[in-house]
Structure 1
């Protein structure tokens, strides 16, 4: 498979690594994209709506919230815990009250960045932040795309 810059990919893993280097597409789908392109076959794995929502949220966080792969150690986990804790503990069913909740002490960023939406959405945000943390740690440890 020839790349636009003249490189040839001899296997799907090297193509997946190259896809991962494209900032706007750095996510779990790189391996699936590489598999589909390199092997020229249909992707047989179907993602659940929740998995799709997590991937879309992860991409949104990078694009809109300016989440970088160089976030300080612990910030992503703290933010994820903040979202998940609010979502898990929420008892009041009033959505307006939920959206007005203040940022918890565990929230690592400015209060202006705290934007609770609803319990499901905030759980998705938390999972996407944990995904970002795992990928950050993998990069620090020199791990590439898993086989």
Structure 2
């Protein structure tokens, strides 16, 4: 049986209403100590497992015992998040993916296929096209955000054409100039509405990352 975080939160809310009665409200300190106790029990089981692997004399425990203690820890973590109004799902995704990006790792958590495709496109831009952080940092006049706007606008046009593939160049203004397209024409690679929205989202991520790097550099300057 699999369980998602939303199901756990709903069950925690329902059981907490049953468990904590009489108008009482458990404090954050209580929740924290409860979590510390459960993690401590898990560590104790790990100690016993390690003791057995080393052939030392003493009490024993099983992996199943550890699974139960770890489950208690997860439940307690969600109870704390519940009391503080923290949505763990997107927080975990953001933390996991942020660490991967920081360390140059490709493995990401994606809450949907759409997000997975955007992250894959961002990786393709770096690995295949060579649009690395150093490369992106040279485009500091909003070029990537403008390119994202082009692809998003073309996606809207494609949607109006009942899903037909968009083959024209970037949207033009009244003077016939491509709106915001800052690169050579051969870099304009339109497709289906969905594909162009994926490209637009990936380009926006690249621009946000560039802005974050610029802000970090500015903050550390003497």
Normalised by the shorter chain, which TM-score bucket?
A: 0.5 to 0.7
1:71 Cα offset (Å): 3.8
If you compute each CA radius of gyration, which structure gives the higher value, 1 or 2? 2
1:129 maps to 2:211: no
1:114 maps to 188
* TM-score scaled by length of structure 1: 0.64
Q: Which blocks of at least 5 consecutive residues in structure 2 are unaligned?
A: 1-94, 172-177, 218-222
1:53 maps to 2:117: yes
Query: Which residue among 91, 97, 102 is the counterpart of 1:20?
Result: 102
Flag the structure with more relative contact order, 1 or 2, with Cα contacts below 8 A and sequence separation at least 6.
Answer: 1
RMSD: 2.8
Tell me, in whole angstroms, the C-alpha distance in 2 between the residues paired with 1:94 and 1:133: 28
1:21 Cα offset (Å): 4.3
Tell me, in whole angstroms, the C-alpha distance in 2 between the residues paired with 1:140 and 1:21: 18
* TM-score scaled by length of structure 2: 0.44
Query: Which residue among 163, 167, 170 is the counterpart of 1:103?
Result: 170
Q: Which runs of 4+ in 1 moved over 6 A?
A: none
1:40 maps to none
**68 and 75 in structure 1: CA distance in 2 versus 1, 3 angstrom threshold:** farther
Tell me the number of residue pairs that the alignment of Structure 1 and Structure 2 aligns.
Answer: 110
Q: Which blocks of at least 5 consecutive residues in structure 1 are unaligned?
A: 1-11, 33-45
1:95 Cα offset (Å): 3.3
1:93 maps to 162
Contact 1:20 1:26 in 2 (8 A): no
